[in-house]
Structure 1
Amino acid sequence: MTKRILITGITGFTGRYVARRFVDLGYEVYGFSHAQNRDMDGVKQIFAISLNSYTRLKQIIDQIKPHYVIHLAAISFVAHADMSELYETNVIGTRNLMEALKNADTLPEHVMVASSANVYGNNDSGQPLTEATPFAPVNDYAVTKVTGEYISGLYSQYFPITIVRPFNYTGLHQSSNFLVPKIIQAAKAKQPVIELGNLDIARDFSDVRDVARFYMELIQRKNSANFRTINICSGQAYTLHQILNYAQDATNHQFNEIRINPAFVRTNEIKLLLGDPAILNKAVSDIKRYPLEATIEWMALN
């Protein structure tokens, strides 16, 4: 029997890579998207829908009868300006989706919910963050993700749920709102000056192709426990200066000046975000990852 998977946020940056993985596996792939008239190669159908519409969610889920659900739909830009939209999408939308799945004619075999490493906040221990690290959100985006995790936990009695907490990741076609594509875009354009926010930061970065592969493996695993949480990370933190050097090398362009723009400096900026991938490495069959330098070269050359 052909397995059916539903991916919310399928037309987003991550959703496209995840969908491609399941299309290549021979799944019937369905998606939810805010956008109208979207088609993706190999995807059975994409439904233009708001997660705020419970009745419509329930109707479509009963139509698809997905074996697996990967919930990626969210506002993922930390500095998003519209707080109402942020909470409605990331909190109420998650609640509506879970309730629709719980009341579906056929329950899913496994549901994956994408949270964020931002839930850990500013941990100054200098040690890699494990799944047991306490929540300490320092911005509204992180608060919505903490809330989304608690909401999802309420439904673990109805179907197995895996919470994934991705640390930073990047790749081709990511929006230039995000740090790495912004730097690469400026370097490819041979701009003499680049304006950034806080320079004194370090982040655990992964390649989106690895993230999609991990999601693919984790959703298909038979869940011995009914509820689990897994960091999606590399275990290596890269400084902003390293990222700048990789981008300059990949594009053969050196910035004349790296300027701090106060408008880009975030309040409560997380200085270090470094994950412990031990649980993830035990859960997947292949722990090899693209190094960030190779990811940036791929982005720069395409």
Structure 2
Amino acid sequence: MKILITGVAGFTGLYLTSAAEVAGHHVVSLQADLTNKSAIEAELRQVSPNAVVHLAALSFVGHANDAAFYDVNVIGTMNLLEGLSSLPKRPSCVLLASSANIYGNCEVSPITETQSPSPVNHYAMSKLAMEFMAKTYFDRLPLVITRPFNYTGLGQGSQFLIPKLVAHFSQKAEYIELGNLHVEREFNDVRMVCDAYIQLLTKGVAGEVYNICSGKPFTLKDVILTLERLTGVCLDVRVNPAFARANEVHKLYGSPKKLENCIGPLRAYDLQDTLQWMLKTQ
């Protein structure tokens, strides 16, 4: 199967490309700028993909330009879907990567796909807007929407929490400055997420939304204690108010039931194994 992936050079894109090729698929990277509608249409006509995974997005919640979230995550996605819907032979599946951040602060966990969205930042709002916009293409394209919960792995940008922690422990730093310590998250492995994406391309039901999650949350203290155990290093953890986000989502973990009913049990990656993998190359 010829799979077109947007955002191939990004963190997730690199692992998804590898997973797809190992599974015997041919991967093509979208080269056009998502904000350039005519360039996208021309490239799609040339490639004529059998399936599409749309990963390209602004994904760092603390990005300085709020308007850019909507330019890329909403308008860019609309340009892509418009181009795909105009192809003579449309793909068998178009997987859109949204985000579990659209759920916001939920009083009840684990979170299911039926939970009402309540985004608390522009990144999450842009992803929710993307989902609603995509629904207007349900009659033209076989869309599958995914909402991945937090995940990490080797090569993720240092602006994200887990790579920042791993780097500080590897370098035996005296201290680390963090924002809100009272958060509870899933910290899944990027390889698990990519395995789910590959399977959803053939097993996912068009028009459905799937949480990509393990349902196993960890506190920041859990992560720090695991890194202390793995490295023998103890850091002085300092709270820097400048790093604390307004409207922080305090608890975010999901139910994988719908996903597992669709594709079967996910390959499990223990948090310690993921952290050890990330530490080895520091």
Q: TM-score range by the shorter chain?
A: over 0.9
Deviation at 1:105, TM superposition (A): 2.5
Structure 1 length normalisation: TM-score? 0.91
| Contact 2:215/2:256 (<8 A) preserved | yes
CA distance in 1, matches of 2:248, 2:105: 8
Deviation at 1:113, TM superposition (A): 0.2
Count of aligned pairs: 281
Matched, 1:24 2:22: yes
The aligned residue for residue 215 of structure 2 is 235
**Aligned AA (1:254):** C
Give 3-state SS (helix, strand or coil) of 2:139's partner.
Answer: coil
Deviation at 1:150, TM superposition (A): 0.8
Q: Deviations over 1:252-279 (max 9, x none)?
A: 2111x10011110000000000101101
The aligned residue for residue 135 of structure 2 is 153
The aligned residue for residue 253 of structure 2 is 274
CA distance in 2, matches of 1:89, 1:288: 31
The aligned residue for residue 301 of structure 1 is 280
**Aligned AA (2:28):** Y
Q: Deviations over 1:221-258 (max 9, x none)?
A: 263xx300000011011000001111222222111x10
Q: 2:71 is matched with which residue: 83, 88, 108?
A: 88
Q: What is the correspondence of 1:100-179 to structure 2 with a 5 Å cutoff?
A: 100-125=83-108, 127-179=109-161
Q: What is the correspondence of 1:196-275 to structure 2 with a 5 Å cutoff?
A: 196-221=178-203, 223=205, 226-255=206-235, 257-275=236-254
Give 3-state SS (helix, strand or coil) of 1:287's partner.
Answer: coil
Q: What RMSD, in angstroms, separates the aligned Cα atoms of the two structures?
A: 1.1
Q: Deviations over 1:109-152 (max 9, x none)?
A: 11000000000001123x21000000100100010000010111
In structure 1, stretches of 5+ residues that fail to align are 33-46
Give 3-state SS (helix, strand or coil) of 1:7's partner.
Answer: strand
Q: Deviations over 1:14-62 (max 9, x none)?
A: 0011111111222221012xxxxxxxxxxxxxx2x21011111011111
The aligned residue for residue 12 of structure 2 is 14
Structure 2 length normalisation: TM-score? 0.97
Deviation at 1:285, TM superposition (A): 3.5
CA distance in 1, matches of 2:71, 2:77: 9
The aligned residue for residue 39 of structure 1 is none
**After TM superposition, what 4+ stretches of structure 1 lie above 4 angstroms from structure 2?**
none
CA distance in 1, matches of 2:265, 2:212: 14
In structure 2, stretches of 5+ residues that fail to align are none
Most deviating of 21-30 and 93-102: 21-30
| Contact 1:111/1:219 (<8 A) preserved | yes
Most deviating of 263-272 and 19-28: 19-28
| Contact 1:54/1:96 (<8 A) preserved | yes
